[in-house]
Structure 1
């Protein structure tokens, strides 16, 4: 218990985390020492190549961005190593195809992290983009990305859920991509209190017309959908959502979405993808586990667009600085 609390303390405060790792780099392995070459820097500069389709169209936005991140964050470390080519490439390609083939409207990136999906939407379209991220230091990093690269997407410090008010966000000890809202009265150093809202309540205030929604909230995706049913009924956006198996997520999503007459496509392998009669977290690759929820049959050219973006992403290799 004491060890868990100490680990939570280290992960709660970035400066403490950085100082602890620097100290452990000077200790022998038998005393918990770390390989100095594997200790992340305090700050990380990443040159991020952006995909540009090869269909001759005139695209907005730059070919690459140089971004600054805190060195301990998980996604920037992965981007520095392998770029967008290996960061959920099938999901990103499907996301970009959705932007190509849906009517003009807002993009909502729920569980944005540092904003990879938001970066692409803002760099390659002129749509309003909103990135929802409740973890304070990650939201701050996403806001710095938007500002420094002149992308102009809006970072919203909210955890979208099925209720309005506040909730407990539990920080994952080994991967900040897995921070999630939890229902508990027993909190510790691993928990922080964050503002919560339903998607429907937020959208009523923001007055957006969402046409593309991406959801990745580490297992609470059904809560986000539950709080946004009015948005789904009224605006019929295309949805890209992560589905983790064995948590009851599949059954809850199907119960919520089925009355809305959406089609369910697992994002897996080479397109075209086939609609399934049920949602299963094991139907898509473990490293992505994304599903596309379509309010209608994909239009002509949609799957070709997915393949085109997948090819463009394959050229976006990592360029650490």
Structure 2
């Protein structure tokens, strides 16, 4: 079976340049992300974070450079390029786990996308590091040996955002970090780049993280003008100081938006609108396509499904 998840529909973007109505994530069972997409559709997967990510890409506009650190199977990269590819978005997805990076490359290929996948950890010193593979789920793999009990180490290459950006002459407008309590090291290794180009940053912060390491890094960001906003469904976006962040950590509200300016009203409006669009992408809009039958038959099925979805959007059912 091939497993397709619906992309949220943005009328204005789709009118300017139609984009694929589905992303093929290949399998509904192999990884935790694929299983979660199967249970709830694309709108049921990290709903608030996904709405924020898509809104930031829209807000930053054409030719946005997006670094996805801890990309897993590349779902966010695939979604962002599917929707904003015609605007010239440039995406680099960093994923150190060998099997997961291989799955990310397969998803990129089957969807005929072109973002870069770098099979490397991102930390504060380039070289080689031990990545600890969680016995629970690959989403809990971490450079922190104590993050999941029973984790087993494997050596992987490591880079820093500063080293990568300098070598490739590519600098992020948007930096997303999800590295299971090692975000302080990613930020430390990105500080020169951050100070130079002031990217928008989204960052998962866990209560199990070591805030004796994290808070000083947030203070460095604060000194160069960053403000900290917890991503939630609240109507307002109260700003937090570096010292206040730890006191507002939540088991369910893990993601934060670090902005080098006050939260723009336009961005808030975009986030609210993407939330609504994502609510339409439920488990019922998932599609399982049998790999049996001829290639032509499969293409005909997909075209039929796309015609149905187009009719649903335009009201021509």
Taking structure 1 as the reference length, what is the TM-score of the superposition? 0.79
Work out the CA distance in 1 between the residues paired with 2:151 and 2:54. Answer: 38
The 1:246–1:253 alpha-carbon spacing in structure 2 relative to 1, beyond 3 Å, is farther
Structure 1 outlier segments of 4+, above 6 Å: none
Q: For residue 155 of structure 1, report the CA deviation from its aligned partner.
A: 0.7
Equivalent residue of 2:79, what SS? helix
More helix by share: 2
Counting only pairs closer than 5 Å after superposition, residues 161-200 of structure 1 correspond to structure 2 as 161-182=123-144, 190-200=152-162
Normalising to structure 2: TM-score of the pair? Answer: 0.80
Describe the shift of the 1:150–1:192 C-alpha distance in structure 2 as closer, same or farther (beyond 3 A).
same
Q: Which blocks of at least 5 consecutive residues in structure 1 are unaligned?
A: 1-43
Q: Distance in 1 between the 2:287 and 2:154 partners?
A: 32
Question: What is the match of residue 317 of structure 1?
Answer: 282
In the TM superposition, what are the counterparts of 1:3-22 in structure 2 within 5 Å? none
Aligned counterparts of 2:253 and 2:74: Cα–Cα separation in 1: 16
* Deviation, structure 1 residue 284: 5.6
Secondary structure of the residue aligned to 2:258 is strand
C-alpha distance 108-181 of structure 1, shift in aligned 2 (>3 A): same
Measured against aligned partners, the alpha-carbon deviations of 1:118-175 in whole angstroms (never above 9, x if no partner) come to: 1121111131111100000000001111111012111101100001100000011111
The yes-or-no answer on 1:86 pairing with 2:50 is: no
| In structure 1, C-alpha distance between the alignment counterparts of 2:18 and 2:172, rounded to whole Å | 21
Partner of 1:108: 67
State the Cα distance separating 1:267 from its structure 2 match: 0.3
Q: Residue 229 of structure 2: SS of its match in structure 1?
A: strand
The residue number in structure 2 matching 1:136 is 98
Corresponding residue to 2:240 among 268, 276, 280: 276
- Distance of aligned partners of 1:65 and 1:117 in 2 relative to their CA distance in 1, 3 Å threshold: closer
CA RMSD in angstroms comes to 2.2
Is 2:10 the counterpart of 1:53? yes
Tell me the distance in 1 between the aligned counterparts of 2:185 and 2:151: 24
Aligned length: 275
Identify the residue that residue 254 of structure 2 maps to in structure 1: 289
Determine which of 270, 274, 282 is the counterpart of 1:305: 270
Aligned mates of 1:107, 1:266 — CA distance in 2? 20
Higher mean alpha-carbon deviation, 145-154 vs 298-307, is at: 298-307
